[in-house]
């Protein structure tokens, strides 16, 4: 300790020089940001962000260790109040060298440090609404299409704890969106609480194009033993939700795992457990289907003991206990598409034309699939990486010609991976510049400006993108509409400070860590690191963050959370909002997340541990 005490003046000088460099760096950054600073409050937030960036440009490890040895702050939690923290430590050092600081100085510094937390809370409430009872974090839930028809489902979502309903404009249409909005507003009013509407613009999502399609056919196949005897019937759902029928989700259990046969709601309403349905299948064979259990207003569980091949229009005859026979037909079924089976080493053509893709032949040629945005292919260079289906399949560009981009598959499972239509494409090494607002987005903004509380800005990459969105919203009379910039590309990460400054000046503003595309773009190994950096910069700028993508994904789809999901959900409480995706068990996921968020609130605030009493 003697060595430390003798170096206190030197430590004071080191801290003073650090503060001078932080102030100089802050002023330099603010000079460049000056045109975007809308008012005094925004300028204060931007000033602290600039100070934090200047502060983090320093290697502070030695200084942190020396301060920690003295029992002083190691500067590790100063995101929301950089200069006030430096001043507090300087004052404590001065007290150790000279005399006790005055009470007025201590009170001023305490108020300055708390001001950052207060600004973040105010900005969060402006964007995301009032803080829920007993937890700090808000819960956002992506609505399924059926939410436009089933008001009971929407009421359950609100009652379980949904604070913000998310509508993805990449799916459905304005009529469906309006029905969803009306149901959310009605459910929130009935529950006596607020529930905001967040609508995501589709943006320039790069995808694979169409493959050859054939009319949908559904096979109900019982499980048989080695002798051919039926071991278990084929379970399925009669589905009156309005969605096309089709096979269940692969690997899923619960409702998501059952094949679905589309029928009308009035016909379904008359089915009772224990009754029978006679089906005339696509081969003209008559099969008996057993009605087992009602699963809500729009689904009924049934089973078949024999193979049944169903197509749209196949006859169904309800054999009721009253002796009446009520007839119906199988409704629309999802079309089936050819798929390309890709193995490591295969070649694949990402074509320019919009013709349906084709399955390849032999000699290592997997096939051809069109790129839904062929204009990006000219930006590709030999050797650059390409990822398909959220990184499931990896490839490398071998050449680009008039036909398109020729890829060599570099990553796939040993048995091969299927490439399907409308799957995401990522080009992390390529300099692809597409407008963040396309023609569809501008049309959708007309609806969003009228009906939504928040607009989600997909694939934003620059300050200019934020300015463009602000201009479009102002032109529609929605200049104060809340907006969330989705951070999902390398350029967005590189330009994050400017995106924040230009986004936060005109209206309520926040960030979304869109971890799906972001992980593919920056590399899986960097996701955790970049996620932390986004949280730090957002806290420094006093703007809220939405933690998104695959939160409780397994629980939502299969009603069985993984251990990693539980840890991820606990960590997500450091953000101001957590987004859950749609799925058959989303109600259970909301309840679980609500419980975890309430518990973690007592243990942690942002990245600072809260040392409440432990009960061991």
Q: Count the helix, strand and coil residues of the chain and give each as a percent rounded to the nearest 5.
A: 40, 25, 35
What is the pLDDT at residue 248?
Answer: 73
- Asked if the model's pLDDT at residue 253 lies above 60, the reply is no
- Asked if the model's pLDDT at residue 67 lies above 80, the reply is yes
What is the pLDDT at residue 491?
Answer: 92
328 and 234 in one domain? Answer: yes
Q: How far apart are CA 556 and CA 549, in angstroms?
A: 12
Last residue within a domain, chosen from 312, 336, 360: 336
Query: Mean pLDDT throughout 588-608?
Result: 85
What is the pLDDT at residue 61?
Answer: 83
Average pLDDT in the chain: 89
Q: How far apart are CA 501 and CA 497, in angstroms?
A: 6
Cα angle 439, 146, 157 (rounded to 5 degrees) comes to: 105
- Asked if the model's pLDDT at residue 79 lies above 50, the reply is yes
pLDDT one-digit tens code per residue, 447-495: 999 999 999 999 999 999 999 999 999 999 999 999 999 999 999 999 9
Last residue within a domain, chosen from 285, 307, 336: 336
Structure tokens at 554: 């397994």
The answer to whether position 324 is within a domain reads yes
- Asked if the model's pLDDT at residue 444 lies above 90, the reply is yes
Domain coverage including residue 120: 2-128
* pLDDT confidence band for 432 (50 / 70 / 90): confident
What is the pLDDT at residue 5?
Answer: 47
pLDDT one-digit tens code per residue, 204-249: 889 999 888 778 889 999 988 777 777 889 999 999 877 788 887 5
- Asked if the model's pLDDT at residue 46 lies above 70, the reply is yes
The answer to whether 263 and 312 are in contact (CB under 8 A) is no
Q: How far apart are CA 202 and CA 398, in angstroms?
A: 30
The answer to whether 530 and 493 are in contact (CB under 8 A) is yes
What is the pLDDT at residue 612?
Answer: 61
Report the CATH number at residue 490: 3.20.20.60
344 and 332 in one domain? Answer: no
- Asked if the model's pLDDT at residue 140 lies above 60, the reply is yes
What is the pLDDT at residue 70?
Answer: 76
The answer to whether position 273 is within a domain reads yes
- Asked if the model's pLDDT at residue 6 lies above 60, the reply is no
Listed residue (367, 477, 483) closest to 421, CA to CA: 367
The answer to whether 439 and 169 are in contact (CB under 8 A) is no
299 and 397 in one domain? Answer: no
The answer to whether position 437 is within a domain reads yes
What is the pLDDT at residue 422?
Answer: 87
Q: How far apart are CA 196 and CA 199, in angstroms?
A: 10
- Asked if the model's pLDDT at residue 435 lies above 50, the reply is yes
Query: Mean pLDDT throughout 111-125?
Result: 85
pLDDT one-digit tens code per residue, 294-306: 987 788 999 999 9
Range name among 331-335, 436-440, 509-513 with the lowest pLDDT average: 331-335
CB atoms within 10 A of CB 168: 19
Structure tokens at 244: 């096309």
The answer to whether position 284 is within a domain reads yes
219 and 158 in one domain? Answer: no
Range name among 96-110, 193-207, 313-327 with the lowest pLDDT average: 96-110
566 and 474 in one domain? Answer: yes
262 and 179 in one domain? Answer: no
591 and 459 in one domain? Answer: yes
How would you class 431 by CB atoms within 10 Å of its CB: exposed for 0-12, middle for 13-18, buried for 19 or more?
exposed
Q: How far apart are CA 472 and CA 436, in angstroms?
A: 12
CA atoms within 13 A on the CB side of 472: 22
Last residue within a domain, chosen from 336, 352, 370: 336
What is the pLDDT at residue 405?
Answer: 96
- Asked if the model's pLDDT at residue 171 lies above 80, the reply is yes
The answer to whether position 368 is within a domain reads yes
* pLDDT confidence band for 251 (50 / 70 / 90): very low
Q: How far apart are CA 580 and CA 571, in angstroms?
A: 14
Identify the residue with better confidence: 38 or 399.
Answer: 399
What is the pLDDT at residue 408?
Answer: 96
The answer to whether position 119 is within a domain reads yes
Structure tokens at 426: 């990522």
Is the overall model pTM greater than 0.75, yes or no?
yes
- Asked if the model's pLDDT at residue 83 lies above 50, the reply is yes
Residue 576 vs residues 244, 358, 500: alpha-carbon distances, Å: 37, 46, 16
CA-based torsion, 409, 412, 414, 420: positive or negative:
negative
What is the pLDDT at residue 323?
Answer: 60
The answer to whether position 440 is within a domain reads yes
Q: How many domains does the chain have?
A: 4
- Asked if the model's pLDDT at residue 76 lies above 90, the reply is no
| Helix (H) / strand (E) containing 189 | helix 174-191
- Asked if the model's pLDDT at residue 4 lies above 50, the reply is no
Give the helix ranges, DSSP H, for 228-293.
265-269
What is the pLDDT at residue 2?
Answer: 41
Range name among 98-107, 256-265, 466-475, 549-558 with the lowest pLDDT average: 98-107
Query: Mean pLDDT throughout 88-99?
Result: 83
- Measured in residues, the chain has a length of 616
384 and 250 in one domain? Answer: no
451 and 356 in one domain? Answer: no
What is the pLDDT at residue 592?
Answer: 93
Q: Label the pairing between strands 425-426 and 417-419.
A: unpaired
Identify the residue with better confidence: 364 or 250.
Answer: 364
The answer to whether position 136 is within a domain reads no
* Ranges assigned E (strand) in 321-364: 325-329, 336-337, 340-342, 347-351, 358-359
Report the CATH number at residue 384: 2.40.33.10
20 and 72 in one domain? Answer: yes
* pLDDT confidence band for 180 (50 / 70 / 90): very high
330 and 217 in one domain? Answer: yes
What is the pLDDT at residue 249?
Answer: 57
CB atoms within 10 A of CB 414: 7
354 and 468 in one domain? Answer: no
Range name among 69-83, 145-159, 395-409, 584-598 with the lowest pLDDT average: 69-83
Q: What percentage of the chain carries pLDDT values higher than 70? A: 93
3-state secondary structure of 324: coil
Residue 550 vs residues 68, 142, 283, 561: alpha-carbon distances, Å: 38, 12, 41, 11
């Amino acid at each position: 300790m003697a060595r430390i005490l003798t170096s206190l003046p030197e430590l004071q000088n080191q801290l003073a020089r650090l503060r001078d460099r932080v102030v100089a760096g802050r002023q330099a950054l603010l000079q460049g940001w000056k045109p975007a600073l809308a008012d005094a409050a925004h300028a204060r937030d931007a000033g602290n962000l600039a100070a934090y960036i200047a502060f983090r440009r320093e290697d502070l490890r030695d200084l942190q260790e020396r301060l920690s040895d003295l029992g002083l702050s190691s500067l590790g939690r100063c995101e929301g109040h950089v200069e006030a923290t430096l001043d507090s430590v300087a004052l404590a050092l001065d007290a150790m060298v000279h005399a006790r600081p005055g009470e007025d100085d201590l009170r001023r510094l305490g108020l300055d440090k708390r001001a950052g937390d207060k600004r973040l809370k105010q900005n969060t409430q402006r964007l995301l609404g009032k803080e829920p009872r007993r937890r700090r974090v808000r819960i956002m839930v992506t609505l399924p299409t059926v939410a436009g028809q089933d008001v009971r489902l929407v009421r359950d979502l609100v009652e379980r704890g949904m604070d913000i309903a998310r509508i993805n404009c990449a799916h459905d249409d304005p009529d469906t969106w309006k029905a969803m909005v009306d149901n959310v507003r009605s459910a929130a009013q009935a529950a006596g609480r607020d529930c905001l509407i967040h609508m995501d613009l589709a943006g320039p999502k790069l995808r694979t194009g169409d493959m050859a399609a054939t009319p949908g056919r559904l096979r109900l196949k019982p499980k048989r033993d080695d002798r051919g005897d039926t071991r278990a019937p084929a379970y399925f759902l009669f589905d009156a939700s309005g969605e096309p029928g089709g096979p269940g989700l692969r690997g899923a259990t619960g409702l998501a795992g059952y094949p679905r046969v589309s029928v009308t709601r009035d016909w379904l309403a008359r089915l009772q457990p224990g009754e029978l349905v006679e089906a005339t299948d696509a081969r003209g064979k008559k099969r008996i289907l057993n009605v087992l259990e009602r699963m809500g207003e729009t689904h009924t569980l049934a089973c078949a003991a024999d193979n049944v091949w169903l197509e749209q229009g196949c006859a169904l005859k309800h054999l009721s206990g009253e002796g009446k026979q009520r007839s119906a037909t199988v409704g629309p079924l999802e079309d089936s598409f050819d798929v390309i089976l890709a193995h490591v080493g295969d070649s694949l053509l990402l074509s320019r034309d919009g013709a349906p893709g084709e399955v390849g032949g032999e000699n290592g040629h997997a096939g051809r699939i069109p790129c839904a945005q062929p204009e990006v292919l000219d930006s590709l260079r030999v050797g650059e990486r390409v990822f398909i289906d959220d990184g499931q399949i990896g490839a490398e560009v071998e050449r680009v010609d008039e036909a398109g981009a020729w890829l060599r598959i570099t990553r796939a499972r040993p048995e091969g991976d299927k490439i399907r239509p409308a799957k995401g494409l990522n080009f992390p090494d390529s300099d692809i510049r597409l407008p963040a607002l396309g023609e569809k987005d501008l049309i959708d903004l007309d609806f969003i400006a009228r009906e939504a509380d928040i607009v989600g800005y997909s694939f934003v990459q620059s300050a200019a993108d934020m300015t463009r969105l602000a201009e479009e919203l102002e032109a529609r009379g929605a200049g104060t509409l809340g907006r969330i910039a989705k951070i999902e590309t390398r350029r967005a990460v590189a330009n994050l400070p400017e995106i924040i400054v230009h986004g936060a000046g005109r209206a309520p503003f926040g960030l979304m860590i869109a971890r799906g595309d972001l992980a593919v773009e920056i590399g899986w190994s960097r996701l955790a690191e970049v996620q932390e950096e986004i949280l730090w910069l957002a806290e420094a700028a006093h703007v809220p963050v939405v933690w998104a993508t695959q939160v409780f994904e397994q629980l939502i789809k299969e009603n069985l959370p993984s251990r990693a999901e539980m840890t991820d959900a606990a960590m997500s409480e450091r953000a101001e909002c957590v987004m859950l995706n749609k799925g058959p068990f989303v109600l259970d996921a909301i309840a679980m997340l609500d419980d975890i968020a309430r518990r973690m609130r007592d243990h942690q605030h942002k990245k600072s541990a809260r040392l409440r009493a432990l009960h061991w």
